[in-house]
Amino acid sequence: MNVFEMTGHQLKDLLSKKEISAEELTSAFLGRIEQVDGTIRAYLTLTPEEALAAARDVDRRRAAGEPLPALAGLPMGIKDNISTRGVRTSCGSQMLETYVPPYDASVVQRLQEAGGIMLGKMNMDEFGMGSSNENSWFYPTRNPWDTDRVPGGSSGGSAAAVAAGEAVFTLGSDTGGSIRQPASFCGVVGLKPTYGRVSRYGLIAYACSLDQIGPFTRDVTDAAMVLEAIAGHDSRDSTSADVPVERFTDALHKDVKGLRIGVPREYFGEGLDGATKDLVRQAIRKYEQMGAVVEECSLPHTDHALAAYYIIAPAECSSNLARFDGIRHGYRTSQATDVLEMFMNTRAEGFGREVKKRIMLGTYALSAGYYDAYYLKALKVRNLVKADFDRAFEKYDVLMTPTATNPAFRLGDKSQDDLSMYLQDICTVTINLAGVPAMSVPCGFQDGMPVGLQLIGKHFGESTLIRAAHAFEQMTDYGKNRPVLEVQA
């Protein structure tokens, strides 16, 4: 098996046995990127010299007999809205095309302390706004399973890189499904932690009350390893929860006998592709075979969640993106005769269509005379959605739904149909509104394309999710499949 087809924990064993060096492993992944990323386009920025230097340092420490951290020597990628000191962080936008942060995000610092080797920054929908990665200002990423299809969004580059063997693991961010949906489309594991479990310090914000950073990995064990490295309280993030970090890897290899699973009926209705529904139902039946107790349940306000999300998220986006004005940092137009014209032209030229649309929607929802009618009402719906989950988790340990309504669609199929594109988030936005953790794991293939099962947990219930996901993974082979890619000589 090639190293770019192996999991992180398998590679960790090879490294610890000195069957391969960190420098050799890093060089192999850089070679893989050179072979396939001309087609996949998962990366926006590569850092080969820095990666090789970090790998050599891991090898030096191993040769000296020093104790090494959990992820030592494993090549990784970072979504391009997560700040990296000295490395461009563009958010997939012309507005930040030349921005180089002077500091590392907390998650980057923690991964480096854990020994991860950063290969570069991952492509994404501009400022995290999109469900297909077609909104990147630079170029779209393509799905490794079928390069005529999208990888999902907004963390499409992060998901595609793991699926294509261009990184052992990557980080993404999830505002309304931007980790889980691309994980489903690309056939990898994607974990959105509880809001506050992972520090957002250094994440360039889209919607502060919804954004959360999490990992893409090849299997559940790797997800547990990465989450252990990045989770924990951070005094630099006012929304960071001061909750002890569990050993998430301890939840692996535990059975699910007696686990109480709720299956919300609202996620299996109109709009869900029939074949996708069948695959997810079959996956849930496997839990019954393993001894779990499965029951249908209801989250009655689910039907209102998407509308609430597309008021709350744009409202927060309108506020967060106000800073990009051509004065303080970022892109500045060359076509202006005064400050006002410079400000207007900078934002008109620097932002893409989708970002401008969401800024306008959010500004309208927050404006005098409309705040109560839209934004305040959306916040009330959010409270009702959260209450639905709270009631469900009084009875159930885990909820299970489809991650997406369909497999990956073709590039261009939905880019001119805003409503159809927004409906791609219908299975995922409720989780962000409620702030609970969720993850997507591969549960089958439909016409050769991966389909994901979404597991949803209680606040700070990641260990239960990992336990349930790992048990399913051990019973199936879906996650062991790898796409076949043409390589460039």
pLDDT at residue 329 greater than cutoff 80: no
Asked if residue 406 belongs to a domain, the reply is: no
* Residues belonging to the active site: 79, 154, 178
Q: What is the end-to-end Cα distance of the chain in Å, rounded?
A: 19
pLDDT-based confidence at residue 331 (cuts at 50, 70, 90): very high
- The reply to whether 166 falls in a domain is yes
Kindly report the CATH number assigned to the domain that includes residue 24. 3.90.1300.10
Identity at 426, one-letter amino acid code: I
Instruction: Please state whether beta strands 260-264 and 293-297 pair in parallel, antiparallel, or not at all (unpaired).
Output: parallel
Phi, psi angle pair for 233, to nearest 5°: -65, 145
One-character DSSP codes across 213-232: EEEEESSHHHHHHHHHHHBS
What pLDDT does residue 440 have? 98
117-122 and 189-192 strand pairing: unpaired
Could you tell me the pLDDT band of residue 132, with boundaries at 50, 70 and 90? very high
Write down the residue that tokens 């396939």 correspond to.
36
CB 237 within 8 A of CB 201: yes
Query: How many Å apart are CA 75 and CA 296, to the nearest integer?
Result: 41
Q: Three-class SS of residue 98?
A: coil
Residue 361 located in a structural domain: no
Mean pLDDT of the chain: 96
DSSP lists the bridge partners of residue 203 as 82
Check if the beta carbon of residue 214 is closer than 8 Å to that of residue 171: yes
CA-to-CA dists, residue 244 to 127, 232, 240, 455, angstroms: 31, 7, 12, 22
What confidence tens digit (pLDDT) does each residue in 221-267 have?
A: 999 999 999 999 999 999 999 999 999 999 999 999 999 999 999 99
Average pLDDT over residues 343-356: 96
How many domains in the chain?
1
Residue 423 has pLDDT above 90, yes or no: no
Give domain status of residue 176, yes or no: yes
- Which residue range forms the structural domain that includes residue 74? 3-247
Q: Give the pair of three-digit tokens for residue 32.
A: 């893989």
Residues contacting residue 276 through CB under 8 Å, at least 6 positions apart = 402, 404, 405, 406, 407, 446, 451
327 pLDDT exceeds 80? yes
The pLDDT, as a whole number, for residue 330 is 85
What pLDDT is attached to residue 139? 98
Distance of alpha carbon 61 from alpha carbon 100, whole angstroms = 30
Tell me the mean pLDDT in the region 365-392: 95
Residue 7: inside a domain:
yes
Q: Is residue 141 a part of any domain in this protein?
A: yes
Q: Coil, helix or strand for 261?
A: strand
- Taken as a whole, the chain contains a residue count of 489
Whether 237 contacts 197, CB under 8 Å = no
> What tokens does 70 get?
């959990």
The string of pLDDT tens digits covering residues 46-88 is 999 999 999 999 999 999 999 999 999 999 999 999 999 999 9
pLDDT tens digit string along 433-453? 999 999 999 999 999 999 999
| Residue 28 is assigned to a structural domain of this protein | yes
- pLDDT exceeds 90 at position 282: yes
| Per-residue pLDDT at 1 exceeds 80 | no
Continuous segment of H or E residues that includes residue 419: helix 418-422
Tokens of 463: 């260990």
Please give the structure tokens belonging to residue 424: 């791609």
pTM, 2 dp? 0.97
Q: What is the pLDDT of residue 416?
A: 82
Residue 294 lies in a domain: no
The answer for residues whose C-beta is within 8 angstroms of residue 201's C-beta and 6 or more apart is 105, 106, 234, 236, 237, 240
Angstrom distance (rounded) from CA 296 to CA 294 = 7
Query: Dihedrals φ, ψ of 382, to 5°?
Result: -60, -40
Task: Please report the pLDDT score of residue 489 as a whole number.
Answer: 65
pLDDT one-digit tens code per residue, 381-419: 999 999 999 999 999 999 999 999 999 999 999 988 888
Q: Residue 408 carries which DSSP code?
A: P
